[in-house]
């Protein structure tokens, strides 16, 4: 597959709204590798959005958060991040075991930038990086198949107020969220 092939649905709307030429030029900016600017944005991120599909092709999107640096750029074509305790459904992570294709969106709300990645993910609970992430259950590695900057036009400017108390920290017991002690969930 060529990087960023357009399918008939894309082309239909590009023709309808007169953006085919623009889309073709933008596709030339798509890469299978990360440059220095993309690396910097990813490694500074404290969150991203992860899109996965189940074995039926039904999508879901998850917010993944941590301290800046929790997403690592291992080389120009691979990133890695930990999976921490969540709601126990393993919806996104379970999807990866059935369909490893992912979409990842990084948004720098302060700098009004966005970066899209597409790739193929794998899960490893014996990954050498596991020991570097306090309380991580396993490591997800993503081999990048497409990387491109996305138009920042509609990004609202936000400022972070505080980090989540639930992000695992060395030397501190991570508190359990109140909802996990709900008696209805304990039955």
Predicted confidence at residue 3, as pLDDT, reads: 55
Whether pTM > 0.85 for this model: the answer is: yes
Report CA dihedral (145, 151, 152, 153) to the nearest 10 degrees. Answer: -160
Pairing of strands 47-53, 59-65: antiparallel
Spatial neighbors of 75 by CB under 8 A, at least 6 apart, are none
Predicted confidence at residue 1, as pLDDT, reads: 42
For the chain, the structural domain boundaries read 32-153
Per the CB < 8 A criterion, the answer to whether 75 and 32 are in contact is: no
What is 32-153's CATH number? 2.30.110.10
Predicted confidence at residue 4, as pLDDT, reads: 66
Per-residue pLDDT of the chain (187 residues; tens, 9 = 90+): 455 689 999 999 999 999 999 999 989 999 999 999 999 999 999 999 999 999 999 999 999 999 999 999 999 999 999 999 988 899 999 999 999 999 999 999 989 999 999 999 999 999 999 999 999 999 999 999 999 998 888 889 888 888 888 888 888 888 887 877 777 777 6
Predicted confidence at residue 2, as pLDDT, reads: 52
Predicted confidence at residue 182, as pLDDT, reads: 77
Spatial neighbors of 50 by CB under 8 A, at least 6 apart, are 61, 62, 63, 64, 92, 102, 103, 104
């Amino acid at each position: 597959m060529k990087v960023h092939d357009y399918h008939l649905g894309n082309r239909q709307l590009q023709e309808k709204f007169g953006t085919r030429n623009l889309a073709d030029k933008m596709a030339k900016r798509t890469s299978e590798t990360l440059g220095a600017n993309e690396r910097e944005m990813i490694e500074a991120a404290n969150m991203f959005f992860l899109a996965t599909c189940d074995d039926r092709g039904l999508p879901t999107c998850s917010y993944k958060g941590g301290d800046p640096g929790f997403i690592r750029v291992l080389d120009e074509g691979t990133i890695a991040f930990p999976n921490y305790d969540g709601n126990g459904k393993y919806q996104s992570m379970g999807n990866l075991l059935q369909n490893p294709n992912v979409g990842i969106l990084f948004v720098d709300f302060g700098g009004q930038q966005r970066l899209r990645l597409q790739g193929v993910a794998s899960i490893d609970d014996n990954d050498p990086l596991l020991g570097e992430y306090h309380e991580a259950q396993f490591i997800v590695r993503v081999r990048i198949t497409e990387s491109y900057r996305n138009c920042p036009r509609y990004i609202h400017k936000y400022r972070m107020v505080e980090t989540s108390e639930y992000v695992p920290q060395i030397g501190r017991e991570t508190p359990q969220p109140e909802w996990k002690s709900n008696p209805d969930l304990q039955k």
